[in-house]
Homo-oligomer: A and B are copies of this chain.
Amino acid sequence: MRTLSHPDVQDIALDQVLSALADPIRRRIVTQLAGGHDDQACIAFDLPVTKSTSTHHFRVLREAGIISQRYRGTAILNCLRDEELAERFPGLLEAVLGAETR
């Protein structure tokens, strides 16, 4: 089984989180994960970019510590690391998600 590396909670960096969330495509992924159920495969996101670009954005989010990814078959299940983010940077994710909808 392939493995994907995720930063520990205490290693999540504000710089990375903010620049990851500054991109509209990546915010769209985060918003969809927050709004719907967890465990959505990458393919479930209807993004206006090719597969390889999509891979890139998911990786940026994972390496920033915003989402977690794990394999199931050939697919990847994505989860928002909302509780960990709230622990590290309280209120940040909520504020961005709230701001998104206006």
Query: In the complex the two chains form, what is the Cα distance from A102 to B98 in whole Å?
Result: 23
A21 contact set on B, CB distance < 8 A? 18
| Inter-subunit contact B98/A95 (CB<8 Å) | no
User: Chain B residue with minimal CB distance to A100?
Assistant: B14
Binds B, one of A33-41, A53-61, A66-74, A84-92: A84-92
Chain A's interface size range is 20 to 34
Residues of chain A having any CB pair with chain B under 8 Å: 14-15, 18-19, 21-22, 24, 27, 88-92, 94-96, 98-100, 102
| Inter-subunit contact B95/A92 (CB<8 Å) | yes
A18 contact set on B, CB distance < 8 A? 18-19, 21-22, 96
| Inter-subunit contact B89/A98 (CB<8 Å) | yes
| Minimum Cβ distance to chain B for residue A102 (Å) | 8
